[in-house]
Structure 1
Amino acid sequence: MILCCGEALIDMIPAPVTTGGTGFVPHAGGAVYNTAIALGRLGVGTGFLTGLSRDLFGEQLRQGLEESGVDVGFAVLSDLPTTLAFVRLTDGHATYTFYDENTAGRSLFPDQLPDLPDSVRALYFGGISLISEPCADFYAGLALRDADTRAIVMDPNIRPGFIRDEARYRARLDLMIARADILKVSDEDLEWILPGPGPLAEKAQAIQSKGPRVVIVTRGSEGASAWLADGSHAEAPARKVKVADTVGAGDTFNAGVIEALNAGDLLQKDRIADITAAHMESALARGAEVAAVTVSRAGANPPWAHELSGLDLA
């Protein structure tokens, strides 16, 4: 099982209303939630660890997980409200305003770390759950505790406008990056982590030297690159599709990569070093395929396995 650890929230997506003007429609979302949903729909054994509200939006989130085949038994339930993210779309590109104070997802504490079964062989972290305290310390504590025995996959999906204490966030991020096995960042994330001049490849290798065996860098429509433990490099182009919006694109790309590596029995602690450039090219291509379907339709609506071509990780 892959255990996705992080936020589940409601994206309030703008939509026209019959009386004129624009309203907001609630869609289940959140970076880590989107990846969990995508993995479940791809047929990967997936669990989800988050703080989940018992309110109506929490029920909507739970229903979406269950309908996509994701195990919700790891969730920590509470009567606190669900996080809301109001979305603004500009030429298909999404920006967000979050309402996150004292919510169920944010109110997880390090002393609540669960004991995980041996069936969980990889942990996936990312999103705003690595920014907001106290839950950020909860997830960091879990990653550091289990990094010796389980593969750690991480996509910080950095949102600078959401960060209130940059020094604390950078310190926490550095600790988690050092223990990650696979780190995925966008080119914008990479520039934020390592600001200043220098080519992308040089910065990717610099961050790889901090601990991750595999570093993946996505560049939107320009595709993705990866630097591997054996010193090799892999590339894959993005798929060309008509874009409805970019909500959940990176999250579902991650799911495709994880699915591919898991299918090759490579997503476990003692196999990360065995990932070759050929393996990673296939994984990046799968990620691009999954993301292309998502961006071609409104909102974070990842594809099911039957909507995609067969997976070949030979």
Structure 2
Amino acid sequence: MTFKVAVFGEALFDMIEQENGDYRPFIGGSPYNVARSFSRQGLNCSYLSPISNDSFGDKIYNSATIENIHMPQNNRSFQATSLALVYKNEQGNPDYRLYRKSVADLDISADRLLSNLPEDLDLFHTGSLALVPEMLDVLIPVMTALKSKGVKISIDVNVRKGVEIDHAKYVSAIAQLITYADIVKVSDEDLLLQDLVGDPQELASNMLKDMTNGMVVLTLGEDGAHIITENINIKQAVYKAVPMGDTVGAGDTFFSSMLAQLLRDNALTPAAEKEHLAYALKYGSLAASINVSKIGCQPPTHAEVLSKLDELCCA
């Protein structure tokens, strides 16, 4: 059975500073990384956010075509492609500046997004820079319609500093959208950027109070990940990447691969067997380690993850 998924959120270009001071462009954006991973996991994936008709947008469109990602015919926009300038600050640490005004991926209405939703959808995914106040009037009607049809909704919180001048308004928008989700991914850093201070597992558990029969996936960097429901808390350690490439897209690969496995096991519900939830968490963690063993976001296929699982079992 092939599951049908749709992704809404930014596809952008990361302009990454090189050692000589020049900037090199890379296609990125958390939701777009998720769409690539879904497709490589064998899911029937549609990417629904508008893509600019500028030269950067052409590259994104061509990339999606190569990845076998479906796109609506009317998804090109005259607005510009969003950019993220990635550089080292005065302390020598990575920092970034987002260029998000009048950009293509925000150039959409609720009616247009509703009309572009595929039939018989199993999962709708969004997150990251789509969770901004100006998108509430788009996403809330769409999510309401999806919930009425029984379509599962996943959200990757992925908080970004500097997205909105009014940070409190941004955090409030995220909180509103989480109430529509069946499963939410949040990191310990995301919690801090939402001004939530305390034990990450307890804070993640508290998010369930605002969800209906939901699940929260908590990532803790080198300390692994948890899947948390009202009744269980399953932990998964990190799989070390050999060789080590970089961590670009690791979280996107982890969550999308985990979601793909939950769909395959019909386990995208807190009522699922604990063994299925634990296996999906393990599967996502292993997929992330494969991605981290490479340079840039390069999500593995379903076959690649299964092969790695076989190696672990035989080791």
Equivalent positions of 1:1-314 (< 5 A) are: 1-16=4-19, 21-73=20-72, 76-88=75-87, 95-115=95-115, 116-131=117-132, 134-135=134-135, 137-148=137-148, 149-193=150-194, 195-196=196-197, 198-211=198-211, 213-229=214-230, 231-241=231-241, 242-267=243-268, 272-310=269-307
Q: Distance in 2 between matches of 1:256 and 1:264?
A: 13
CA displacement at 1:144 relative to structure 2? 3.1
Sort the Cα spacing of 1:124 and 1:309 in 2 relative to 1 into closer, same or farther, 3 A. same
Q: Distance in 2 between matches of 1:140 and 1:300?
A: 30
Aligned-pair identity in percent equals: 29
In structure 1, stretches of 5+ residues that fail to align are none
Sort the Cα spacing of 1:31 and 1:218 in 2 relative to 1 into closer, same or farther, 3 A. same
Comparing 255-264 with 161-170, which one deviates more in the overlay?
161-170
CA displacement at 1:151 relative to structure 2? 0.6
Q: Deviation string for 1:181-201 (max 9, x for gaps)?
A: 1011001112334623x3222
Answer yes or no: is the 8 Å Cα contact 2:152–2:181 preserved in 1. yes
Q: Deviation string for 1:150-192 (max 9, x for gaps)?
A: 1111111001222322233233222211111101100111233
Q: Deviation string for 1:55-100 (max 9, x for gaps)?
A: 111111112112112111276211221111122369x985422122
| Amino acid paired to 2:87 | R
Sort the Cα spacing of 1:297 and 1:93 in 2 relative to 1 into closer, same or farther, 3 A. farther
Task: Tell me the secondary structure at the aligned position of residue 13 of structure 1.
Answer: strand
Answer yes or no: is the 8 Å Cα contact 1:260–1:286 preserved in 2. yes
| Amino acid paired to 2:107 | S
Task: Tell me the secondary structure at the aligned position of residue 301 of structure 1.
Answer: coil
Task: Tell me the secondary structure at the aligned position of residue 162 of structure 1.
Answer: coil
Q: Distance in 1 between matches of 2:304 and 2:23?
A: 28
Q: Which runs of 4+ in 1 moved over 4 A?
A: none
Q: Distance in 2 between matches of 1:226 and 1:138?
A: 29
Q: Distance in 2 between matches of 1:308 and 1:25?
A: 30
Q: Distance in 1 between matches of 2:50 and 2:5?
A: 18
Answer yes or no: is the 8 Å Cα contact 1:238–1:288 preserved in 2. yes
Q: Distance in 1 between matches of 2:47 and 2:101?
A: 22
Sort the Cα spacing of 1:37 and 1:151 in 2 relative to 1 into closer, same or farther, 3 A. same
CA displacement at 1:120 relative to structure 2? 1.1
Task: Tell me the secondary structure at the aligned position of residue 72 of structure 2.
Answer: coil
| Amino acid paired to 1:257 | M
CA displacement at 1:235 relative to structure 2? 1.2
Task: Tell me the secondary structure at the aligned position of residue 205 of structure 1.
Answer: helix
Sort the Cα spacing of 1:288 and 1:308 in 2 relative to 1 into closer, same or farther, 3 A. same
Answer yes or no: is the 8 Å Cα contact 1:228–1:275 preserved in 2. no
Task: Tell me the secondary structure at the aligned position of residue 225 of structure 1.
Answer: strand
Q: Distance in 1 between matches of 2:273 and 2:96?
A: 37
Answer yes or no: is the 8 Å Cα contact 1:125–1:139 preserved in 2. no
Q: Distance in 2 between matches of 1:76 and 1:135?
A: 17
Indicate the residue corresponding to 2:313 in structure 1: none
Q: Distance in 1 between matches of 2:36 and 2:279?
A: 21
Q: Distance in 2 between matches of 1:74 and 1:7?
A: 18
Q: Distance in 2 between matches of 1:204 and 1:75?
A: 38
Q: Distance in 1 between matches of 2:184 and 2:93?
A: 24
Sort the Cα spacing of 1:37 and 1:89 in 2 relative to 1 into closer, same or farther, 3 A. farther
Q: Distance in 1 between matches of 2:17 and 2:259?
A: 31
Q: Distance in 1 between matches of 2:281 and 2:304?
A: 18
Q: Distance in 1 between matches of 2:109 and 2:126?
A: 16
Q: Distance in 2 between matches of 1:303 and 1:161?
A: 31
Answer yes or no: is the 8 Å Cα contact 2:14–2:83 preserved in 1. yes
Task: Tell me the secondary structure at the aligned position of residue 128 of structure 1.
Answer: helix
Sort the Cα spacing of 1:259 and 1:55 in 2 relative to 1 into closer, same or farther, 3 A. same
| Amino acid paired to 1:45 | N
